[in-house]
Amino acid sequence: MPFLTELKHHLGDQFSFAAQIELNDHRPVGVSFTIGNGAPTSITTAFGNIIVTRVGDSGTAKGTPYVYAPDVEPHISNSGDLTRDKIAKLVEMVIDD
């Protein structure tokens, strides 16, 4: 989240993000971010894995989520992959789309 806070500082109103909190114990389980008027991108946890999705991405129908496979760029599959560089690559890919 510190990196996303930095991005918000640099990109201003063109970038927003929100944490996803577990209702029972109030721990963070994910984050969603949006760049400009684009579709939201979500990074969530499920059974020890990290799942990255983007609504309407990669030629899917509007409103249909696209799941980034863990073995393709930005190569995010577990919590160890949530590095500054990989999140920056994901943000860069979203901006390029």
The distance of Cα 54 from the centroid of its chain, to the nearest Å, equals 8
Which pLDDT does position 85 carry in this prediction? 92
Given a cut of 60, is residue 90 above it in pLDDT?
A: yes
For residue range 33-80, what is the model confidence (pLDDT) as tens digits? 999 888 889 998 887 788 898 876 555 555 566 778 788 888 888 888
For residue range 49-61, what is the model confidence (pLDDT) as tens digits? 888 988 765 555 5
Query: Among residues 41, 93, 95, which one has the least CA distance to residue 72?
Result: 93
- Which 3-state string (H, E, C) describes 26-68? CCEEEEEEEECCCCCEEEEEECCEEEEEEECCCCCCCCCEEEE
